[in-house]
Amino acid sequence: MKRGAKSQARSRLIVVSNRLPFAFKRGPGGNWIAEPGSGGLVTALLPVLRNRGGTWIGWPGSAGSTREFAPALTSAGSAAGYDLVAVPLDEAEVREFYHGFSNEVIWPLFHDLTSLCNFDPAYWRTYTKVNRKYAAAVAARADRGDFVWVHDYHLMNVGGDMRALATQARLGFFLHIPFPSPDVFLKLPWRKQVIRALLQYDLVGFQAARDRRNFIACIEALGEEARVEGRGTVVTVTTARGETRVGSFPISIDYNAFMRAAATAEVDEKARELHTLLPGRKLVLGIDRLDYTKGITLRLQAFQDLLVRHPDMRGKVSLIQVVVPSREDIPEYNRMKTEIEQLVGRINGEFARPGGWVPVWYEYRSLTRLELLAYYRAADIALITPLKDGMNLVAKEYCACSIEEDCVLILSEFAGAAEQLRIGALLVNPHDIEGVAEAIRTAHSMPQDERLARMRAMRRSIRRQDVFWWVDSFLRAAIARDLSDFPAPEAQAPQPPSNQLPF
């Protein structure tokens, strides 16, 4: 019988995300070829999808019909060990659902950047239409007892749309980006619809306690009678619409895989090469997707401020700033790229000396995995200063790759990762230019004992709560009879991950 057939007795996992975990490219004959994506989510979910049988439903990322993608999906799915289902989007849908509502409304709003929001009613209409399309694709494949796990802000309505289709499956949702406080969220013209849609899930997961608190505050601010039970990281919220579990589950990385890969001779050699190219100084690293939430221009201003106010630092540090191209069709992103490049030019123009030290080494491209690991290993200081971030996995990857533990993480207090990494990171307010400059100076002169102790504490925590722990906690929270397994963080004992659907 075909894997995933309706009559299958075991409950399966159905993952739904905006993009499928494969990048689709045209082959030489014009046919589509699927190449595995590099995201951590697929690594984490793979063991469960393979053990229990499962399906991943999402957009292939390019315009094309279901029929055109079918052969590539079938062969990629049989190699991967789970089924792949494409939800094709036409050009108008990509424009108004993906670029429009998802990335010009929810993305800026949920990162507290209301002035960048374009509350175009047409965007909302297309968002609801596309979410219904995803829900129909899921409902056609979900059986009673299956667990449907919907990911991220593109698909908040899918749970409610599936209920409207009378689904019998259990429904979970995880938001990878922050959830804003009521004073920001209430600006959304469709605020009630979004809150009600989220309350249709059996479990709603957030990255941080901050986001979980904001969500509950927004329910109350909208005048919904809500009873909150529990004091741990997962609570039960009961409204007139029913019961929803609401929890925080900090996403993570495959710690062991990063650590092992970073320890290879190849990476070691490439990291040494970087120090040879940029000799006699400490390397400060910033790696970000091109995005206005990442605080790149403020970070460059902080680095400039360091060099202006502390001339003794000139020649002693270089900033390697890697910007990975992203969402290039959105005008705001292009404007930002120009601003970053002008600022890099200004700093280098002011301080660089011919044949000598260059303060900022700037790269606008995607790094290969080898390069990424080598940059992490070579960096003496990581400077990660988003204005707001759901989690920020660069911070965790940097720690995992720092196998000598002799380095420093400077981290924005507004990154979700700060809740966990405050035990070892130098926390900064990314808007405080002089404060960030001082943190670089502190990191530069930090005694070795302190560097080692801080990095060791963070690495221990990330190793314990890796991405497999994350999957396991979310799935357990969905089915646990009671929530005593999810105590407040200070009382938490490490749980061995099972990588199995626990039902």
Binding site for ligand G6P (CB under 6 A): 19, 152, 176-177, 326-327
Minimum distance of ligand G6P from residue 38's CB (angstroms): 11
CA distance linking residue 42 with residue 217, whole number of Å: 32
What the block records as the tokens of 428 is 């900064």
Helices (H), 231-320: 255-262, 265-277, 296-309
Q: What is the number of other CB atoms lying within 10 angstroms of the CB of residue 438?
A: 18
Residue for token pair 């920001």:
184
Between the CA of residue 30 and those of 26, 67, 69, 79, 496, what are the distances in Å? Answer: 5, 14, 11, 21, 47
Minimum distance of ligand G6P from residue 198's CB (angstroms): 16
Minimum distance of ligand G6P from residue 325's CB (angstroms): 10
Which CB, 77 or 390, lies closer to ligand G6P?
Answer: 390
Helices (H), 310-353: 331-351
Which CB, 11 or 157, lies closer to ligand G6P?
Answer: 157
Q: What is the DSSP letter of 415?
A: B
Minimum distance of ligand G6P from residue 418's CB (angstroms): 17
Minimum distance of ligand G6P from residue 32's CB (angstroms): 19
Backbone phi, psi, residue 252, to 5°: -145, -160
By the 10 Å C-beta count (0-12 exposed, 13-18 middle, 19+ buried), 490 is classed as exposed
Minimum distance of ligand G6P from residue 386's CB (angstroms): 11
Residue among 434, 433, 318 nearest 381 (CA): 318
Which CB, 55 or 102, lies closer to ligand G6P?
Answer: 102
Which CB, 152 or 438, lies closer to ligand G6P?
Answer: 152
Minimum distance of ligand G6P from residue 108's CB (angstroms): 13
CB 118 within 8 A of CB 191: no
Cα R_g (the chain), whole angstroms = 23
**Which residues, at least 6 apart from 500, have a Cβ–Cβ distance to it below 8 Å?**
47, 48, 51, 52
Which CB, 168 or 326, lies closer to ligand G6P?
Answer: 326
Q: What is the DSSP letter of 152?
A: S
Which CB, 102 or 200, lies closer to ligand G6P?
Answer: 102
Q: Which amino acid is at 482?
A: D
Which CB, 340 or 393, lies closer to ligand G6P?
Answer: 393
Minimum distance of ligand G6P from residue 177's CB (angstroms): 5
Between the CA of residue 331 and those of 99, 109, 311, 444, what are the distances in Å? Answer: 11, 17, 37, 37
Which CB, 333 or 351, lies closer to ligand G6P?
Answer: 333
53: alpha, beta or left? (left if phi > 0; alpha if psi -120 to 50): left
Residue among 233, 210, 249, 253 nearest 459 (CA): 253
The CB-nearest residue to ligand G6P is 176
Minimum distance of ligand G6P from residue 327's CB (angstroms): 5
Which CB, 230 or 386, lies closer to ligand G6P?
Answer: 386
